[in-house]
Amino acid sequence: MDLIIRNANVNGENLDIGIVGNKVTALEKKISQTASKEINADGRVAIPGFVDCHLHLDKSLLNERAEYQDLTGPEKGALTREEKAKFTVEDITERAERILLQGVKAGNLIIRTNVDVDPIVGVKGIEALLSLKEKYKDILEVQVAAFSQEGFLNYPESKELLEEAMEMGADLVGGHTIVDNKDGEKHIDTILEIAKKYDVEADFHLDESGNRQHYLLPYLAKKMIADGLKGRVNGIHCCTLSALNEEEKEEALALIKESELKVTAAPTAISTRALAPVKDLLNNETLMGLGSDNVRDFFNPLGSGDVKQVALLLSYVHRFFTAEEEESIWKMITVDGAKLLGHTDYGIKVDGEANITLLDGKTPKEVIANQSQTYAIIRKGVDYSQQFLARS
């Protein structure tokens, strides 16, 4: 064997993990063979890696060039557009790469970032993120969503630019249902049209404001069912679900179930509105993930690209405190998040790809509570710990 990781906590069991080439070839209580390289995990938690279902890497770290101001959402949007007009590919790359690397250090294996595409910035963000995707493809998977942050009413050229982004190699298309205000349905139609044209999934900032006048989830779910797009759309935020009465909420949950709409919670939104009712969604068997969302920009002055932070935040905000509840949060940033992003084979298993992240904690609970550091990063059988964890 090339590498044996001994005494690792794999889904609650203490196991040795044997690796040959880029594959796990043994997963046993005690592997009797030896390997040229061995790591004693000493009971540490082993997972393939974390999954962050929603980020805005192209806008990350804008906070470094302008102090955070406590303004309204539209005012923060205007400030962002002003900065966005000055973006260059190099500038986006430099900021996005720093947060991407912080995520690698935190143990990320798969991330999805929305990237603004509109006449203000053009496809510069797509160019930057696609080259980072390629550069780090052996370490983590970056899914790039060509995102209509500004909508079509004020920026009708966005549609062509989104198509250009798809031609360049973006992985999916993203919409923002409240941005076109009175014409949210048309916005949804346009994004889904692009998704169908390029046979990709769609990702919507859905009912983000939490206001009832912005409630478009039923329209989207019915359209998914009618257009044969069941399970092909991810709704980020879905905050308006928290403003509904019980009867309306039941109707919404039934539609989510029928359309197989996936939902990503982005808990930092709690600073300005109520989050989606995550426990109700999980009880409804909705496939859910978590996302860091904005990282140190005009919308969120904090954040780090470490999805463990938002897992801790959501645990407090929605009181995920029992063992079963803790497990559901853990699944959102591991196996369920991976499934949401299209990976049904996530896990450490024999014949599976040898992606192993060892975390400095003995249980998932300890990892979340302590915000444990990453102890080792193995990707496709290669140990990148020295390179990315900067430890001697």
The residues near 6 (Cβ < 8 Å, ≥ 6 apart) are: 16, 31, 38, 39, 40, 41
CB of 266 to Zn ion, least distance (A): 6
- Only one of the segments 95-103, 141-149, 291-299, 364-372 lies at the binding site for Zn ion (rule: CB under 5 A); that segment is 291-299
CB of 204 to Zn ion, least distance (A): 10
> 130 vs 97, 125, 134, 152, CA distance in Å?
11, 8, 6, 24
CB of 77 to Zn ion, least distance (A): 12
Q: Which of 56, 187, 237, 318 is an active site residue?
A: 237
Rule CB under 5 A: is residue 208 a binding residue for Zn ion?
no
- Match 């963000």 to its residue by tokens: 125
- Only one of the segments 220-228, 286-294, 314-322, 340-348 lies at the binding site for Zn ion (rule: CB under 5 A); that segment is 286-294
From 360, 349, 353, 347, select the one nearest 382 (Cα to Cα). Answer: 353
56 is catalytic: no
Distance CA 87, CA 273 (A): 30
Distance CA 227, CA 123 (A): 28
CB of 121 to Zn ion, least distance (A): 16
User: Nearer to Zn ion by C-beta: 39 or 290?
Assistant: 290
User: Nearer to Zn ion by C-beta: 201 or 293?
Assistant: 293
One symbol per residue from 99 to 118: x for binding Zn ion (CB under 5 A), - otherwise; what is it? --------------------
Tokens of 34: 């030896």
Site for Zn ion in 342-361 (CB under 5 A): none
Using Cβ positions, the residue closest to Zn ion within the complex turns out to be: 293
Site for Zn ion in 130-159 (CB under 5 A): none
Name the residue type at position 351: D
Are 150 and 81 in contact by the 8 Å Cβ rule? The answer is yes
- Only one of the segments 129-137, 145-153, 288-296, 311-319 lies at the binding site for Zn ion (rule: CB under 5 A); that segment is 288-296
**Total residues binding Zn ion (CB under 5 A):** 1
Rule CB under 5 A: is residue 16 a binding residue for Zn ion?
no
- Only one of the segments 41-49, 195-203, 289-297, 382-390 lies at the binding site for Zn ion (rule: CB under 5 A); that segment is 289-297
CB of 54 to Zn ion, least distance (A): 6
Distance CA 243, CA 212 (A): 7
User: Nearer to Zn ion by C-beta: 39 or 179?
Assistant: 179
Cα dihedral 98, 104, 108, 109 sign: positive
Q: Report the run of H or E that residue 112 belongs to, with start and end.
A: strand 108-116
- Match 């039923």 to its residue by tokens: 218
From 154, 240, 230, 161, select the one nearest 205 (Cα to Cα). Answer: 240
User: Nearer to Zn ion by C-beta: 293 or 326?
Assistant: 293
Chain mean position to CA 89 = 22
Q: Are strands 172-176 and 374-379 parallel, antiparallel or unpaired?
A: unpaired
- Only one of the segments 98-106, 223-231, 247-255, 287-295 lies at the binding site for Zn ion (rule: CB under 5 A); that segment is 287-295
CB of 300 to Zn ion, least distance (A): 9
Chain mean position to CA 33 = 38
Rule CB under 5 A: is residue 293 a binding residue for Zn ion?
yes
Positions touching Zn ion (CB under 5 A) are 293
Enumerate the active-site residues.
237
